[in-house]
């Protein structure tokens, strides 16, 4: 009997983790929406990020890290520093790339999905509202943290992304994690650290 | 006259397309003692993560190539862009493949077939029973032949695979550098029919070796 109980607990334990995520109540949702309004005051963000790519057949995720700089309304610098150097700057509806000295510019018209994601992340960091025409929005709680799950509605986006999950810090309500889930259920998790808000960002960061 | 011209054209086309590839400076093919080739991707405990720089049809894609060994000549191979988007994920064995996922733009039969072909050639272990003969043997490393693949062996390691289709070279895979355990750390793949080049550099920290 004791063994059965042990097996029961061992098998149930992993599901306990999932049970921590639940829908927000109406009052929690209202308070969350209100907390996002403080983010409107944000003019700049600089932070470190760590990217974990999870593939079902890999035991450990493939890891890379770098720095991000965001200047409201439409400048984003996304630079990988380890294990490789690769920098992207989004501004003026273009993506500027510096691949270890090899530079190129991509018109965003050729990379709509990428633009949507970068706009979404930038907008979320700034407390922007989610486009409910493009996404089905679920407001969730994971422990004390607020979580928003965005499921694409449009066929074009569904081909690339199954869902986007944004996890907010329970303390200051800033975005802490972004998870992009692919149609295959493999996913990429971006963890944002050492965030600095409204500090002056040198203009050269956005020039490539 | 028209019928003669049409017939001549087809005859010409037939002879051109059925030409056979001749390895540079080769004087013929000889039988060789059985030789195992391309023994790099055999250990099922290993997973390789390569930094990948791909140029295809004048477009650059950077990312990571994962090679997991599932069994003897069975490999799972995935290419992920720097931003984390899976471009393809496929299991490859000698006679078949299973596509687990391909990004929408790449999920076309011809593209998948070519991806499978390239990485099957790169990872498959082969057995040779014939080799190229050279007029002046002292000047050349041994080159073994399996089907239409030519394996150049230097210091007991495959240094290069040259693959031919018809009379022309189709694909070249060059293993440029190895670590102390003879694991390829730098590989250059060049497709001779389509404008595709792939540079791979082993990421030792992320690989399980």
Q: pLDDT tens, A118-149?
A: 667 666 666 666 777 788 999 999 988 999 99
What pLDDT does residue A140 have?
A: 95
- CATH number at A75 reads 2.50.20.10
Q: Kindly report the nearest CA distance between residue A159 and chain B, in angstroms.
A: 6
Q: Is the pLDDT of residue A1 over 50?
A: no
Asked whether residue A180 is domain-assigned, the answer is yes
Question: Higher-confidence residue: A186 or A1?
Answer: A186
What pLDDT does residue B173 have?
A: 98
Q: Is B161 exposed, middle or buried (0-12, 13-18, 19+ CB in 10 A)?
A: buried
Question: Higher-confidence residue: B128 or A120?
Answer: B128
Could you tell me which chain A residue has the CA closest to the CA of B88?
Answer: A184
**Which of A56, A58, A107, A117 has the highest number of chain B CBs within 10 A, making it the mutation to test binding with B?**
A58
What pLDDT does residue A49 have?
A: 96
Asked whether residue A102 is domain-assigned, the answer is yes
Residues in A whose CB is inside 8 Å of some CB of B read: 51, 53, 55-60, 62-64, 80, 83-84, 86, 99, 102, 104, 114, 159-160, 180, 182-184, 186, 188
Asked whether residue A108 is domain-assigned, the answer is yes
What pLDDT does residue A188 have?
A: 94
Closest CA to A155 of A113, A93, A110, A117: A113
Average pLDDT value over all residues in chain A: 83
Question: Higher-confidence residue: A113 or A20?
Answer: A20
Question: Higher-confidence residue: A2 or A180?
Answer: A180
Residue B100 has phi, psi (to 5 degrees) of -85, -35
Q: Poorest-confidence range of A159-163, A178-182, B4-8, B122-126?
A: B4-8
What pLDDT does residue A160 have?
A: 86
What pLDDT does residue A105 have?
A: 86
Q: pLDDT tens, A43-79?
A: 899 999 999 999 999 999 999 999 999 998 888 899 9
Asked whether residue A68 is domain-assigned, the answer is yes
**What is the number of structural domains in chain A?**
1
Q: For residue B208, list chain A residues with Cβ-Cβ distance below 8 A.
A: 59-60
Instruction: Find the mean pLDDT for residues B67-83.
Output: 94
Task: Categorize the per-residue pLDDT at B60 as very low, low, confident or very high, splitting at 50, 70 and 90.
Answer: confident
Distance CA B9, CA B15 (A): 10
What pLDDT does residue A14 have?
A: 43
Q: Is the pLDDT of residue B12 over 60?
A: no
Share of chain B above pLDDT 90, in %: 73
Q: pTM higher than 0.90, yes or no?
A: no
Domain ranges of chain B: 21-202
Q: Is the pLDDT of residue B16 over 50?
A: no
Q: Is the pLDDT of residue B1 over 70?
A: no
Q: For residue B84, list chain A residues with Cβ-Cβ distance below 8 A.
A: 51, 53, 180, 188
What pLDDT does residue B11 have?
A: 45
Question: Higher-confidence residue: A170 or B163?
Answer: B163
Q: Poorest-confidence range of B57-61, B104-108, B137-141?
A: B137-141
Distance CA B114, CA B18 (A): 21
Range of the domain at A85: 24-206
Report CB contact under 8 Å: B104, A159.
Answer: yes
Distance CA A63, CA A83 (A): 8
Two structure tokens written together for A150:
């965005």
Distance CA B96, CA B48 (A): 22
Whole-complex ipTM: 0.84
Task: Categorize the per-residue pLDDT at A28 as very low, low, confident or very high, splitting at 50, 70 and 90.
Answer: very high
**Which of B84, B86, B88 has the highest number of chain A CBs within 10 A, making it the mutation to test binding with A?**
B84
What pLDDT does residue B18 have?
A: 53
Task: Categorize the per-residue pLDDT at B117 as very low, low, confident or very high, splitting at 50, 70 and 90.
Answer: very high
> B51 CB near a chain A CB, below 8 Å?
yes
Could you tell me which chain A residue has the CA closest to the CA of B87?
Answer: A160
What pLDDT does residue B192 have?
A: 95
Residue pair B21/B169 in contact (Cβ under 8 Å)? The answer is yes
Distance CA A191, CA A167 (A): 9
Q: For residue B51, list chain A residues with Cβ-Cβ distance below 8 A.
A: 83-84
Could you tell me which chain B residue has the CA closest to the CA of A179?
Answer: B84
Q: Is the pLDDT of residue A111 over 70?
A: no
The length of chain B, given as a count of residues = 209
Q: Is the pLDDT of residue B14 over 70?
A: no
Distance CA B145, CA A149 (A): 55
> B85 CB near a chain A CB, below 8 Å?
yes
DSSP classification of residue A128 = P
Q: Is the pLDDT of residue B171 over 50?
A: yes
Name which of B76, B82, B86 is nearest A184 (Cβ-Cβ): B86
Asked whether residue A29 is domain-assigned, the answer is yes
Two structure tokens written together for A134:
């493009």
Asked whether residue A66 is domain-assigned, the answer is yes
Q: For residue A104, list chain B residues with Cβ-Cβ distance below 8 A.
A: 60
Instruction: Find the mean pLDDT for residues A16-28.
Output: 76
Q: Which fold has domain B21-202?
A: outer membrane lipoprotein receptor (LolB), chain A (2.50.20)
Distance CA B172, CA B119 (A): 12
Q: Kindly report the nearest CA distance between residue B90 and chain A, in angstroms.
A: 11
What pLDDT does residue B49 have?
A: 97
Residue pair A135/A150 in contact (Cβ under 8 Å)? The answer is yes
Asked whether residue A7 is domain-assigned, the answer is no
Asked whether residue A2 is domain-assigned, the answer is no
């Amino acid at each position: 009997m004791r063994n059965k109980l042990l097996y029961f607990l061992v098998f149930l334990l992993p599901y306990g983790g999932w049970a921590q995520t639940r829908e927000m109540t109406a009052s929690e949702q209202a308070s969350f929406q209100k907390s996002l309004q403080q983010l409107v005051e944000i003019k700049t963000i600089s932070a470190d990020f760590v990217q974990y790519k999870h593939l079902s057949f890999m035991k450990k995720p493939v890891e890379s890290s770098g720095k991000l700089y965001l200047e409201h309304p439409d400048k984003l610098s996304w630079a990988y520093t380890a294990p490789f150097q690769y920098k992207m700057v989004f501004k003026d509806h273009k993506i500027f790339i510096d691949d270890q000295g090899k530079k190129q510019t991509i018109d965003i018209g050729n990379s709509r999905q990428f633009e949507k994601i970068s706009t979404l992340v930038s907008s979320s960091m700034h407390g922007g509202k989610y486009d409910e025409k493009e996404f089905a929005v679920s407001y969730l709680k994971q422990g004390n943290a607020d979580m928003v799950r965005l499921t694409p509605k449009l066929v074009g986006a569904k081909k690339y992304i199954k869902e986007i999950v944004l996890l907010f810090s329970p303390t200051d309500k800033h975005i802490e994690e972004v998870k992009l889930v692919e149609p295959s259920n493999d996913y990429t998790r971006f963890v944002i650290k050492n965030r600095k808000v409204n500090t002056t960002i040198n203009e050269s960061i956005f020039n490539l | 006259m028209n019928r003669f011209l049409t017939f001549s054209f087809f005859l010409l086309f037939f002879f051109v397309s059925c030409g056979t590839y001749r390895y540079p400076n080769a004087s013929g093919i000889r039988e060789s003692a059985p030789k195992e080739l391309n023994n790099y991707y055999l250990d099922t405990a290993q997973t390789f993560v390569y930094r990948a720089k791909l140029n295809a049809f004048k477009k650059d894609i950077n990312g990571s190539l994962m090679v997991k060994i599932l069994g003897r000549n069975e490999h799972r191979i995935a290419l992920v862009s720097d931003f984390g988007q899976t471009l393809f994920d496929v299991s490859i064995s000698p006679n078949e493949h299973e596509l687990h996922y391909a990004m929408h733009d790449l999920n076309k039969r011809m593209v998948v077939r070519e991806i499978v072909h390239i990485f099957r050639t790169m990872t498959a272990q082969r057995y040779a029973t014939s080799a190229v003969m050279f007029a002046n043997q002292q000047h050349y490393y041994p080159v073994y032949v399996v089907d239409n693949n030519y394996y150049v062996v230097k210091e007991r390691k495959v240094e290069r695979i040259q693959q031919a289709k018809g009379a022309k070279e189709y694909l070249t895979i060059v293993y440029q550098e190895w670590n102390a355990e003879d694991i390829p750390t730098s590989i250059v793949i060049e497709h001779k029919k389509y404008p595709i080049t792939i540079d791979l550099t082993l990421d030792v920290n992320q690989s399980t070796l």
